[in-house]
Chain A
Amino acid sequence: MPLVYLAVRAGGAGPERVLQILSGPRTLELAMRSIGLAAAVTAACVVIGTGAAWLVVRTDIPRPRVFAVLLALPLAVPSYVAGFTWIAEAPGLAGFWGAFGVLTAVNFPYVLLPVAAALRSADAATEEVARSLGYGPLRVLATVTWAHVRPAATAGGLLVALYVLSDFGAVSLMRFETFTLGIYTSYRGTFDRTPAAVLGCVLVALAALVTWGEARARGRSAHRTSSGAPRPPSPVRLGRWKPVAVAALLGVVAISAGVPVLSLVRWTATGTDLDLGALAAATLTTFEVAALGAALTTVLAVPVGVLAARYRTRTVALLEAGTYVGHALPGITVGLALVFLGVRLVPGMYQQLPLLLVGYAVLFLPLAVGSVRTAVAAAPPRLEEVSRSLGHGRVATLFRVTLPLAAPGIAAGAALAALTIAKELPATLMLRPTGADTLAVELWQHTSVSEYAAAAPYAAALVILAVVPTLLLQRITGRPA
């Protein structure tokens, strides 16, 4: 809905104006930058993620479990927090290489985790057969093993590309102007908002393309044909390469997780003008919008999730697909679309809490629908049939059987949504009610005027808010948040 309006708003200016913006040198430059950054980060993430996954899962590297946890940690660091720490430590990094480094450091686990899972599920037998047929170890790695993990690596890589395209925090702090930042500046800077709308549409189109590619990559993954439990392969002996491998992994961990943590500690310690009152207020605001947003998102997600899990009709599939389109929506475009929609339809809503909450719902509905659907699908339909046969109608059965059974999963989904909302930056920046600044907004505002010491406490609070529940959630649900 907001998207349609965005398109209408963009088209409303007349085709010549749209064409003029589209073909303008600025658009081309932004596109080149966005696509170039996405391609570079994706390539780096695939190399680092796959390599690290192989080292952790398949070799005799010491303490693989510790490495597995450490390498997943960057997932919990919002890109703008990582960006803040990098720019605070080394202001000279601003620009392409800074943005590239930050985004690679926080995104490579999206490749690492699925590839590691694929490597763990690979059956040693196929690799052993290849060896016995005369293939050397490297050739086996390049043919059999890579064929097995390629779908996982591709899907993970496209996910990275999607996140890079829609990232706002890191690129804005690194002052590298991509689509997202371009949209924001042209929205803030001028009264003519047509360029922002047009750019928003282009960004959505790019993201949709990547999402489509990811879905295709995922659908083509090959499955093991033999039955029975796969036998884990014996680990590869690294021999004299072991110190090199350990050093490489430690380097990755140090850059991706170590730098933010150390930098935060340092800046928080040096920060003398700590305004506890403002910090508390921002934390409170963050909790408030996260809780309300998650509640609204979950309430909206329950009917869609239940329908999707239980009734596979075309309408439901369409409805579900509709919510999943949101997965590809950059926060900045959702924010923009809602601003237009709000100003036009309900002027009183602009920069009011309800509009912000709607924005969160649009952005994170897919997340919540996914958890509701999984939780409901895990509740056996047989139990619902028993309930029906015992005289309870559909609705009574939903409330007495299905929802109680799915409650833990739905609650976990709501917690995940709250967590993600707490970390959200661009939509919050555009839609927040005046004066109600979340931790992320405060951090961004201080950093963009180079007040690193003042920004640090907010970043630290965000990391604590983000990392601790993320680890807990990961433990409960067994999947990365």
Chain B
Amino acid sequence: MTGPALSVRGLRAGFPDHPDVLAGIDLEVPRGGLVAVLGASGGGKTTLLRVVAGFHPAAAGTVELGGRPVAGPGLHVPPERRRIGLVPQEGALFPHLTVADNVGFGLSRRERRGSRVAEMLELVGLAGFEERRPGELSGGQQQRVAVARALAAAPELVLLDEPFSALDAGLRSEVRDQVREALRAAGASAVLVTHDQQEALGCADLVAVLRDGRMVQTGTPQQIYREPADLGVARFVGEAVVLPGSLRNGCARTPIGMVPVASANGSGADESGSVLLRPEQLRASADPHAAGSATVREIVFHGADTTVVVELGDGLRVRCRQPDVPDVRPGDPVAVTVHGQARWFPETR
């Protein structure tokens, strides 16, 4: 077997009344990689997953699994012959089977009698749970059994459909780490579909942002966060501070002063547009001379850091997220300083 675990090219799919749920998608999952598809609900994530799994027909484009075409013009390999491991929301364990029978469901009779089931349960940290019923497990345990079931038959690709969204917040990160570890240990390639940017950024090797049926950006979590393709992506993957400005010689003039801009093509003339900063790049500090231009409106203490909401002269508000607790009160004048470089988005005409 050669080639990437999954290769999707020019994929279109939809429904009779919504023909372009997916309007030309490209996606590649390297062997052993974990790629997160991040998108708002209704953006086509689930349709993409169902096309890859074979439950929804592709209208155009191709899907290859491990270099083997499974969907394309005149080709539709049925789901049972695609070697996909599916981990749906809330696990979807077979309620009439024991944990061991669930994990062994995709194995041949001979394999089921061997040690594979026990190995898989060990991998997800549930050794000894063989004879339990799904109803006796907690939500996190059910999800891990579902992962073991998906991995048991050594699939070409594991598809995880919002697998952690049904778990409560405290449990979520723990189960997420366990699942990622199990996937790594098994050397599996996986696609994680989610609307939770924390989950996508924190767990995947690569993140693909899906919006309105198109991939707007694919990159490492750092690239997506630091160098978003547009303001929409920027706002979607984290808190954003967007300020109007005009650019000249790699520096933007903004309501908080001159801000250095990364990788902007320096043109001589002024160019108007927007500056993107992250709250953690901004610091507010007491400055009596700033009276009238920047005023503290609100201070929210989070423990590890503090958010200071600052109102600028023209009514614009920015959020500064800083490790220290500045010695200011609402109403005090402050100075806002910028750490690092901003991203520049020219005004679109």
A393 and B54 alpha carbons, distance in the complex (Å): 12
At the interface, yes or no: B82 with Cβ under 8 Å from chain A? Answer: yes
A391 and B83 alpha carbons, distance in the complex (Å): 7
Greatest chain B CB density within 10 A among A385, A387, A401, A405 is at: A385
- Cβ-defined contact, A389 with B79, below 8 A: yes
Residues of B within 8 A of A380 (CB): 92
Contact (A391, B80) CB under 8 Å given A380-B92, A382-B92, A405-B96: yes
At the interface, yes or no: A390 with Cβ under 8 Å from chain B? Answer: yes
Within 8 A of A (CB), among B159-183: 159
Contact (A401, B94) CB under 8 Å given A389-B80, A393-B78, A393-B80: yes
Chain B nearest Cβ from A164, distance in angstroms: 43
At the interface, yes or no: A383 with Cβ under 8 Å from chain B? Answer: yes
At the interface, yes or no: B345 with Cβ under 8 Å from chain A? Answer: no
Interface of chain B: mostly helix, strand, loop or mixed = loop
A391 and B105 alpha carbons, distance in the complex (Å): 9
The 8 A-B pairs of least Cβ separation, nearest first, read A390-B106, A388-B79, A389-B86, A382-B92, A389-B84, A404-B96, A388-B80, A391-B80
A385 and B78 alpha carbons, distance in the complex (Å): 11
A383 and B149 alpha carbons, distance in the complex (Å): 12
Count of chain A residues with Cβ under 8 Å from any Cβ of B? Answer: 17
Q: C-beta contact mask, A359-394 vs B, less than 8 Å → 1, else 0?
A: 000000000000000000000101101111111110
Residues of A within 8 A of B209 (CB): none
Residues of A within 8 A of B85 (CB): 389-390
At the interface, yes or no: B81 with Cβ under 8 Å from chain A? Answer: yes
Residues of B within 8 A of A401 (CB): 94
User: Which of A382, A385, A391 makes the CB contact (< 8 A) with B81?
Assistant: A391
Residues of B within 8 A of A405 (CB): 94-96
Chain B nearest Cβ from A382, distance in angstroms: 4
Q: List 25 A-B contacts (CB under 8 A).
A: A382-B88, A383-B92, A383-B94, A385-B53, A385-B79, A385-B86, A386-B92, A386-B105, A386-B149, A388-B54, A388-B55, A388-B78, A388-B79, A388-B80, A389-B53, A389-B84, A389-B86, A390-B86, A390-B149, A390-B153, A391-B153, A392-B105, A397-B80, A401-B94, A405-B94
Count of chain B residues with Cβ under 8 Å from any Cβ of A? Answer: 24
Interface residues of B (CB under 8 A from A): 53-55, 78-86, 88-89, 92, 94-96, 105-106, 149-150, 153, 159
Interface of chain A: mostly helix, strand, loop or mixed = helix
Greatest chain B CB density within 10 A among A385, A386, A400 is at: A386
Residues of B within 8 A of A393 (CB): 78, 80
Residues of B within 8 A of A389 (CB): 53-54, 79-80, 82, 84-86, 159
Q: Tally the A-B contacts, defined by beta carbons under 8 Å.
A: 58
Contact (A391, B92) CB under 8 Å given A385-B55, A386-B86: no
**Closest A residue to B87 using CB positions:** A386
A309 and B40 alpha carbons, distance in the complex (Å): 30
Given contacts A385-B88, A390-B86, A397-B80, 13 further A-B contacts (CB under 8 A): A383-B94, A385-B55, A386-B86, A387-B105, A389-B53, A389-B79, A389-B80, A390-B80, A390-B150, A391-B80, A392-B80, A393-B80, A400-B105
**Closest B residue to A396 using CB positions:** B80
Residues of B within 8 A of A390 (CB): 80, 85-86, 105-106, 149-150, 153
Chain A nearest Cβ from B36, distance in angstroms: 20
Chain A nearest Cβ from B256, distance in angstroms: 45
Chain B nearest Cβ from A384, distance in angstroms: 10
Interface residues of A (CB under 8 A from B): 380, 382-383, 385-393, 397, 400-401, 404-405
A245 and B273 alpha carbons, distance in the complex (Å): 79
Residues of A within 8 A of B105 (CB): 386-387, 390, 392, 400
- Cβ-defined contact, B96 with A391, below 8 A: no
A390 and B149 alpha carbons, distance in the complex (Å): 9
A380 and B55 alpha carbons, distance in the complex (Å): 15
Contact (A391, B106) CB under 8 Å given A380-B92, A385-B86, A386-B86: yes
Greatest chain A CB density within 10 A among B79, B89, B149, B150 is at: B79
A387 and B80 alpha carbons, distance in the complex (Å): 8
Greatest chain B CB density within 10 A among A391, A393, A400 is at: A391
A405 and B88 alpha carbons, distance in the complex (Å): 18
Residues of A within 8 A of B89 (CB): 382
A180 and B37 alpha carbons, distance in the complex (Å): 66
Greatest chain B CB density within 10 A among A385, A388, A390, A405 is at: A390
Residues of A within 8 A of B96 (CB): 404-405
Chain A nearest Cβ from B133, distance in angstroms: 14
Residues of B within 8 A of A385 (CB): 53, 55, 79, 86, 88
Residues of A within 8 A of B55 (CB): 385, 388
A192 and B81 alpha carbons, distance in the complex (Å): 62
- Cβ-defined contact, B88 with A386, below 8 A: yes
Residues of A within 8 A of B149 (CB): 386, 390
Chain A nearest Cβ from B333, distance in angstroms: 48
A386 and B88 alpha carbons, distance in the complex (Å): 8
Residues of B within 8 A of A404 (CB): 96
Chain B nearest Cβ from A469, distance in angstroms: 25
**Closest B residue to A392 using CB positions:** B80
A60 and B5 alpha carbons, distance in the complex (Å): 69
A405 and B92 alpha carbons, distance in the complex (Å): 13
A391 and B82 alpha carbons, distance in the complex (Å): 8
A392 and B97 alpha carbons, distance in the complex (Å): 16
A267 and B94 alpha carbons, distance in the complex (Å): 54
A388 and B94 alpha carbons, distance in the complex (Å): 13
**Closest A residue to B84 using CB positions:** A389
A393 and B77 alpha carbons, distance in the complex (Å): 12
Residues of B within 8 A of A400 (CB): 105
Residues of B within 8 A of A387 (CB): 94, 105
A422 and B55 alpha carbons, distance in the complex (Å): 44
A83 and B333 alpha carbons, distance in the complex (Å): 94
Residues of B within 8 A of A391 (CB): 80-81, 83, 106, 153
Chain A nearest Cβ from B190, distance in angstroms: 13
**Closest B residue to A405 using CB positions:** B96
A53 and B17 alpha carbons, distance in the complex (Å): 45
A92 and B308 alpha carbons, distance in the complex (Å): 94
Chain B nearest Cβ from A224, distance in angstroms: 26
A393 and B88 alpha carbons, distance in the complex (Å): 19
Residues of A within 8 A of B92 (CB): 380, 382-383, 386
A258 and B177 alpha carbons, distance in the complex (Å): 67
Chain B nearest Cβ from A56, distance in angstroms: 36
